[in-house]
Amino acid sequence: MATIKDVQPIRNKEDLDNMKWSLKRHCSERDYILFLLGINSGLRVGDLLELKAKQISGKNEITVKEGKTKKVRRIHLKQIREELEQYIHTIGNKEWLFPSRKGDKPITRIQAYRQLNKAAEMADIKTGIGTHTMRKTFGYWHYKQFRDVAKLQRILNHSHPSITLDYIGITAEEIEKDFEMFKL
C-alpha cells in the first residue's frame, strides 16, 4: 500500500474524467460516488466512510466532525447533489452511504483503496493513487481555481501554508513556472 507521501493528486482534467469513467464502468456506482464526494469535499477517507445516507439525503450542505482533528467542517453538496440523490435512491434503505456487501457496515479503507487503484489502472493513470488522492485532488484543484493557500490551509486544517503546498504537490518548479509568465 502506498504511503500518504507517495500518493499524488490527479493533476489533469482528462485523467480526472478517465478516473470517474473507470469507477463507474469497472467498479461500481458506490465507488464512483465515494470518489466524487471525496474530490468535491476534501474529507479524509475515514470521514467519508462514516457518512450515513440520511445525513446526505435532500441536503445542499452538511456538517461533519472530522475524526482526526475533531474539528467541525461544513461540506457543500449543491454541485453534486443530483448525483448523490440518484445514488442514495439506488441503495434503498441502507444505513451507510458506502455500504459493504458483507454485513451492515460501510466498506473499509482497504476496500476503498483497492477500488481506486483498480480504476486508476483501468484509466491508465500512472501517478501514485491511494485513498488520500481524493483529498489531495480536492486541494490541488481548489488551489488552482482560487489561488488562496491560506483559505485552503484552513479547509484542510494544516498548521502552515508550506505544509498545504507540499501536500497538494505544488512544487518549486510549478511556482517558478508561474514567475516565468508573471508580468505587470
Q: Establish if 5 belongs to a structural domain.
A: no
Per-residue pLDDT band at 102 (split at 50, 70, 90) = confident
pTM: 0.91
Is residue 3 situated within a structural domain?
no
The catalytic residue among 30, 73, 135, 142 is: 135
What CATH number is attached to the domain comprising 137? 1.10.443.10
List, for residues 30-69, the tens digit of each pLDDT value: 999 999 999 999 999 999 999 999 999 999 999 999 999 9
81 catalytic? Reply is no
- Domain of residue 47 covers 13-181
Residue 151 lies in a domain: yes
Q: 114 an active-site residue?
A: no
Residue/partner pairs of 75-84 with CB below 8 Å, 24 or more apart: 75/41, 75/43, 77/40, 79/40, 80/36, 80/37, 80/40, 83/33, 83/36, 84/33, 84/37, 84/56, 84/57
158: annotated active-site residue? yes
Q: Give the mean model confidence (pLDDT) for residues 9-32.
A: 96
Report yes or no: 143 and 149 within 8 Å, Cβ to Cβ. Answer: yes
pLDDT higher than threshold 80 for residue 172: no
State pLDDT tens for residues 135-146: 999 999 999 999
The DSSP code sequence of 90-122 is HHTT-SBSSB-SSSSSBPPHHHHHHHHHHHHHH
100 within a domain of the structure (yes/no): yes
Instruction: Read off the amino acid at residue 33.
Output: I
101 is annotated as an active-site residue? no
Instruction: Using the predicted structure, report yes or no on whether residue 173 has a pLDDT greater than 80.
Output: no
Q: Is 92 domain-assigned?
A: yes
Structural domain count of the chain: 1
Catalytic one of 32, 113, 140, 167: 167
β-sheet bridge partners, residue 76: 61
